[in-house]
Chain A
Amino acid sequence: MVESMLKLAPEFENVTEQKLAKMTTKNVNVFYGSNHAVKNISLNLHRDEVTSLIGPSGCGKSTFLRCLNRMNDTITDCRIEGEITLDGEDIYNSKIDVVQLRARVGMVFQKPNPFPKSIYDNIAYGPRIHGLATARADLDEIVTNSLEKAGLWQEVKDRLNAPGTALSGGQQQRLCIARAIAVNPEVILMDEPCSALDPIATAKVENLIDELKGRYAIVIVTHSMQQAARISQKTAFFHMGDLIEHGDTTQIFTAPKKERTRDYITGRFG
């Protein structure tokens, strides 16, 4: 009796779920000219959770990812419909400062892209332009903390003035993650962050993602089924712009509900 009283009606459950979500997307459609690349996607993204976006090339997963911090804004012909909110606020609202948005919703790319600057300046750059710190001591603290959180501090603490580009591929990618963390983001988007890394460097980045999930909502696009299975709590399968299935990663990889999900993850796609 008490349980049934405490249980919310389905329509309210949905509202509560959206309120708890860090980001929500509702009926998001993306068009490149006449090409309907992303179709009616509604997804909630939570803190303390890694969401993997999987699907064959051209399925719309990266396009969808880039909508979440308005990276598609610069693409001419790209039109976005629907609603995307961060803490309940529409990120496509004209009052939104896109630079601030991208600090709150950081991004890590497929290929590590450190600035052609020192390791220190790679991290300090963001906090400086966002005015998070001006005094050297404050910047030092941010740089140290960010590199520690990214699991890179021990490896680079004695060569902070060395160029970021001199690091190995895996270290460069962790430097890019440290750079994203330095501006106190709330959401981190990753677009195939390990595809250019060897298994050891991949394991280090995956371990880092696992450690970071307690502080941020993380969304990762990956072509590796095993990576999605290893690091995410939620998995969303995209196909030809549609969201076919979204659910707990364990459920998706043991008993997917949709045949197309099954065919894709088991390697049966014709």
Chain B
Amino acid sequence: MSDHILSAYDTELNELRSIVSRMGGLAGDQLVGSMQALKERDAEEAQRLRDADAELDRLEAKAEQAAIGVFARRAPVADDLREVVSALKMTSLIERMGDYAKNIAKRTLAISKNHPVVLPQTIETMAERAHQMIQNVMDAYAHQNAEAAVEVWESDEILDNLHNAAYRQILARMMETPEHINIYTHYLMIAKNLERIGDQTTNIAEQIYYTNTGNVLEDSRPKGDVTSVGKADE
């Protein structure tokens, strides 16, 4: 895309893009770190990760200031307008992903105080999948690639299906070993957090699609998650 005649405008847009990208990278790191702490029952690391979430909040506020500055000074229109509006929404979505990772860390603190209970393999697979989705959607953002964004949007069905599987698996273990029901409830919520991270990446993908095409992605995405409608354990 060609540059603006006013180079300061490009500088401001690049600054905003850079904050969004940093936030995406940080949210991905937070997820990986939280899962590592969970697997290792590392309470100290879990606490550090909870505290590190503040950096995402700080960056979100910084992005908001940058976007408001662009509105005030540049009165953006067309694709510039779409980009700045989308950046504002994306930073909220990324910050929310950070909150889900933080929640995993918070649950790790509780889990680490209890008797060790094997982490269901499906949760680990879900986390790898969710992390891949974050990376893919942030790549689509960096390259402003609407097609790559649509691929992420469509791939959420895989994570939804994994979530259904995890849900069934955890329920079965709750019944087998009711004495660990407390831990398994945490695992259930962690699986839900991972599923929600996937949802956030699809929302981010929608913003990238809108920025680059000017069209809204039709809400016809295949939704695989059935845990909330009582079908997962049928």
Contacts and interface: CB of A to CB of B under 8 A. Distances in A.
B86 to A, nearest CB: 12
Contacts of A261: 78
Given A262-B79, A267-B9, A254 B2 contact: no
A86 B80 CA distance: 38
B3 interface: yes
Interface residues of A, number: 16
Given A254-B82, A255-B82, A255-B214, A268 B77 contact: no
Q: Interface on chain A toward B: helix, strand, loop, or mixed SS?
A: helix
Contacts of A256: 78
A52 to B, nearest CB: 13
A41 interface: no
B5 A253 contact: no
Contacts of A268: 2-5
Nearest to A269: B5
A225 interface: yes
Interface residues of B, number: 16
B78 A266 contact: yes
Nearest to A254: B81
Contacts of B81: 253-254
Contacts of A226: 75
Contacts of B79: 262, 266
A266 B76 contact: yes
A265 B77 contact: yes
Contacts of B9: 267
B89 to A, nearest CB: 15
Interface string B172-197: 00000000000000000000000000
A225 B76 CA distance: 10
Contacts of A255: 78, 82, 214-215
A266 B6 CA distance: 10
A262 B214 CA distance: 12
Contact of A254 (B4, B5, B214): B214
29 contacts: A225-B75, A225-B77, A226-B75, A229-B77, A253-B77, A253-B78, A253-B81, A254-B77, A254-B81, A254-B214, A255-B78, A255-B82, A255-B214, A255-B215, A261-B78, A262-B78, A262-B79, A263-B2, A265-B77, A265-B78, A266-B4, A266-B76, A266-B78, A266-B79, A266-B80, A267-B5, A267-B6, A268-B2, A270-B5
Given A255-B82, A268-B3, 19 more contacts: A225-B77, A229-B77, A253-B77, A253-B78, A254-B78, A254-B81, A254-B82, A255-B215, A256-B78, A265-B77, A265-B78, A266-B4, A266-B78, A266-B79, A266-B80, A267-B4, A267-B5, A267-B9, A270-B2
